[in-house]
Structure 1
Amino acid sequence: MAGERFRVMLRMEIKPGLEPEFERVWREVGDSVTSHPANLGQWLSRSIDEDGIYYIVSDWVDEPLFREFETSDRHLEHRTKLHPYRSGGSMTTMHVVAHLPAGTGAAR
């Protein structure tokens, strides 16, 4: 449904030994995503349990605006720069249905 925050989670399998280079390039090209007006931010996380596995989470204003970005030249260029590091992966999309902000006593 339009108007709901939309979240994308990518699971990326990175070729052995290329992890540091992948992280560097991801940081360098990330603004092609985060500078898009509909993007609300993105995060890169490395799995503790599986070698070479990364998760990229990005939040979007809504699904239609993400889908517009997904088919853009800007996204194709971004994917092209990261593709040499990948050996596989998957994408999961979801609508955020609730958010519980951290309390004032949360560790910082």
Structure 2
Amino acid sequence: MGHPQPFRIMLTMHIHPGREQEFEQTWLRIGDGVTSHPANLGQWLIRSEDEPSTYYIISDWVDEPQFREFELSPGHLEHRKILHPLRASGSMATGTVLTHLVGAAAE
């Protein structure tokens, strides 16, 4: 069953230099704390090619209210607490996916 208009979270995380591998391993180890939530559609970890200590995390949700509920949950607060010491700074942008155009290589 598809979700035509998922709510997307786009995080930018700047990791303390020298702790990139630890961050990647920790993110993978605790990722099911996000993806096991019934409203989560999946998430992606992207490392910047231009700034090796910068990561982008994309996370899709069924809708905004369920994401906001998760965002305030004890499980999410614990997830953030584990990652926080590795982070130098970060920011979050949110939005609703309006459409998706499939590229030729995906067909």
Structure 2: which amino acid aligns with 1:5?
P
Unaligned runs of 5+ in 2: none
Distance between the aligned counterparts of 2:65 and 2:82, measured in 1? 24
Amino acid corresponding to residue 62 of structure 1 in structure 2: D
Q: What's the C-alpha RMSD, in Å, of the aligned pairs?
A: 1.6
Q: In 1, distance between residues paired with 2:103 and 2:42?
A: 18
Amino acid at match of 2:46: S
* Counterpart Cα distance in 1 of 2:42 and 2:79: 15
Q: Could you state the TM-score of these two structures normalised by the residue count of structure 2?
A: 0.92
Letter matched to residue 42 of structure 1: Q
The 5 Å alignment of 1:42-57 reads: 42-57=43-58
Displacement after TM superposition at 1:9 (Å): 0.5
Give the TM-score of the pair, scaled to structure 1.
0.91
Task: Name the residue aligned to 1:37.
Answer: 38
- The percent of aligned pairs where both chains have the same amino acid is 62
Larger deviation: 79-88 or 94-103? 94-103
Does the Cα contact within 8 Å between 2:34 and 2:40 map onto a contact in 1?
yes
Matched residues, number: 104
Structure 1, unaligned stretches of length 5 or more? Answer: none
Q: Deviations over 1:2-58 (max 9, x none)?
A: x83100000000001000000000000000000000000000000001130000000
